[in-house]
């Protein structure tokens, strides 16, 4: 936790360290950590030539998309910021008003499901993977504007069945978890 009352130079150094550690911190999160305004963080980033979050995410995601076999890149809901095929993956979804219920501004369950489900598919090391079963739990409402981090882990593979556990976080708080069983088809599809 950065200390209060840092000089600008100290803050900028600390800011670089923090982003090296977690490139997906938002300006709001950084502002909170340093107890300065979001505007101050933006100016710091500009001086340090650190691009905005969306650009940082895209830059990291680029190299992961090349690894994906089972799903089209545009079909992944969120940006894929980490991927070890057949093992684990991480995606980030910046939620928007369009994803939320008009009445409550709470993000609609299907968008969080879509992030988790598409990540579960993306981590599978096969040409085609379809969701068979999912047991999911919404633990806490997510409001539009929040940045969701989904972490998927392949926990077991039995023949063509892939068990994937996905947790979705809003900052440190787990807001969703789901157990998925996916079925891989390597030769293509005929039904």
Residues that bind a second copy (CB under 8 A): 71-72, 75, 77, 101-104, 106, 108-110, 113-114, 117-118, 127-128, 130-138, 140-141, 143, 188-189, 191
In the complex with a second copy, which residue's Cβ is closer, 57 or 119? 119
* Nearest-approach distance from CB 169 to a second copy, in angstroms: 16
* Nearest-approach distance from CB 12 to a second copy, in angstroms: 35
Q: If 0-12 CB within 10 Å is exposed, 13-18 middle and 19+ buried, where does residue 88 land?
A: middle
* Nearest-approach distance from CB 102 to a second copy, in angstroms: 5
In the complex with a second copy, which residue's Cβ is closer, 55 or 101? 101
Burial per residue of 23-36, b for 16 or more beta-carbon CB atoms within 10 angstroms, e otherwise: ebbbbebbbebbeb
C-alpha radius of gyration, the chain, whole number: 19
- Smallest CA-to-CA distance from 112 within 61, 56, 50, 168 is with 168
* Nearest-approach distance from CB 133 to a second copy, in angstroms: 5
In the complex with a second copy, which residue's Cβ is closer, 7 or 159? 159
* Nearest-approach distance from CB 174 to a second copy, in angstroms: 14
In the complex with a second copy, which residue's Cβ is closer, 28 or 55? 28
- Smallest CA-to-CA distance from 112 within 24, 53, 64, 175 is with 175
SS3 state of residue 41: helix
Q: Which two tokens stand for residue 4?
A: 């209060």
In the complex with a second copy, which residue's Cβ is closer, 34 or 113? 113
In the complex with a second copy, which residue's Cβ is closer, 43 or 134? 134
Cα–Cα distance measured from residue 142 to residue 108, given in angstroms and rounded to the nearest whole number: 8
Contacts of 39 (CB under 8 A, 6+ apart): none
* Nearest-approach distance from CB 28 to a second copy, in angstroms: 18
């Amino acid at each position: 936790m950065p200390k209060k009352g840092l000089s600008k130079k100290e803050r900028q150094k600390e800011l670089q360290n923090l982003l090296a550690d977690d490139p997906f911190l938002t300006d709001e999160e950084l502002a909170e950590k340093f107890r300065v305004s979001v505007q101050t963080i933006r100016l710091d980033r500009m001086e340090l030539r650190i691009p905005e979050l969306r650009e940082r995410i895209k830059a990291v995601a680029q190299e992961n998309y090349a690894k994906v076999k089972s799903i089209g890149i545009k079909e992944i809901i969120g940006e894929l910021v980490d991927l070890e095929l057949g093992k684990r993956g991480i995606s980030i979804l910046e939620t928007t008003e369009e994803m939320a219920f008009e009445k409550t501004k709470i993000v609609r369950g299907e968008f969080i499901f879509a992030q988790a489900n598409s990540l579960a598919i993306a981590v599978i090391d096969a040409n085609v993977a379809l969701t068979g079963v999912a047991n999911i739990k919404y633990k806490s409402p997510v409001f539009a504007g929040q940045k969701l981090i989904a972490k998927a882990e392949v926990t077991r593979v039995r023949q063509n069945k892939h068990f994937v556990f996905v947790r979705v976080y809003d900052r440190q708080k787990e807001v969703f978890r789901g157990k998925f069983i996916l079925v891989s088809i390597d030769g293509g599809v005929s039904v």
